[in-house]
Amino acid sequence: MSKQNNSVVHAISEGIEQLQEAKNTIIGVKILSACFVLALLICLAGLNGCRQDCSCMGANNYGELDSKLEGCEVASADLDVKMDVRATADEIETKITVTNLGDDDAYGAKLVVLLPINVHVLNLTPSDSRIVSFNQYGGKVVYCLGQMHKQNNTSSNNFNRNISIKTSRLLKKDCNHCEEISAFAYSSSPDQAVQNNYATWKANCAMPDLIVESLAINSNWASGPHTVDVTIKNIGTADAGAFYLYVDAKNNNPEGQIASQAVKEYTGLAAGVSDVFSVNFDLNPFTAPNTVADIVKILGTVDANVTVAELYENNNEMVTNIP
């Protein structure tokens, strides 16, 4: 028996027991009759929506009432939320289905969807949904679902709703602001199991992040050899695929023109792993009329062709001046 049923039953039982002493008098009988009717009305109100085969009528004491209500549960709605997310490089499409699995209708049902920060809503279906807010904490969209019939109502298919939201993706991703979408359904009716009213999706934040960790120029650069040791590292949480490393020797032209360039192709770099690329510019002659004296800085660029999707795309370069 549910807790709600027990509380109603015990309340009635206590009222009956307290009035037993008065039933031998005419006034007592009248009071008992009136209060018992009131108790039955309370019972019926407390068991509003109870299955038809459950009744508290005809019970004269707690034992009989308990027997009559054995196995009787108060009918209630049971909103269930399911989420299907399809993410591409540019968009996230979220399809949400809300179903009333309960034994009673849900009234005034609503669905609240929380979206990531810094994204744009591209499409909402149905169109009568409304965007409540978009701020630094993300976005909130509310759908008014109205009355949702119980699923076993054979005369109605109005027991579920299908909602679709399409948004842009975050341009810059990091594990402090990873894309997450949450949906929660509720109504003004009692809900049988609230744990299934909620669904969430979170993007995979495991991504590579390539950096140039150091540029070590030969301290005797002027006299040679003209070498540079370039250390790169994948500081991300996922392996990187194929990419190129460019090492440029730049002249003192105001625009910093490239006088020589060394290139190394990588087939990949595991998460947390470093690698050193040693460049000898004596083997990569400076373009005329550049000489050693014209070279003022070295620039290292990892993933120079932007072929790896990274956690951060703005930390792929390092520049240092010739000593």
Per DSSP, the residues of 165-184 read EEEEPPSS--TTS--EEEEE
Instruction: Give pLDDT tens digits for 277-286.
Output: 999 999 888 8
Measured CA to CA, the distance from residue 102 to residue 99 in angstroms comes to 9
Per DSSP, the residues of 59-112 read --SHHHHHHHTTT-----B-EEEEEEEEE-SSEEEEEEEEEE-SSS-EEEEEEE
Could you give the residue range(s) of every CATH 2.60.40.10 domain in the chain?
210-321
pLDDT higher at 154 or 268: 268
Could you give the residue range(s) of every CATH 2.60.40.290 domain in the chain?
79-202
Residues of the chain above pLDDT 90, percent: 38
What is the reported pLDDT for 85?
92
Q: Which helix (H) or strand (E) holds 236?
A: none
Per DSSP, the residues of 255-293 read T--EEEEEEEEES-B-TT-EEEEEEETTSSPPPTT--GG
What is the reported pLDDT for 134?
66
The second-level CATH assignment, the architecture, of 79-202 is Sandwich (2.60)
For residue 305, name the pLDDT band (cuts at 50, 70, 90).
Answer: very high
Distance between start and end Cα atoms, the chain:
84
Homologous superfamily (CATH) of 210-321 is Immunoglobulins (2.60.40.10)
Q: Which two tokens stand for residue 47?
A: 């068991």
Residue 317 has pLDDT above 80, yes or no: yes
Least confident of 122-131, 136-145, 191-200: 122-131
Least confident of 26-30, 247-251, 265-269: 26-30
What is the reported pLDDT for 129?
65
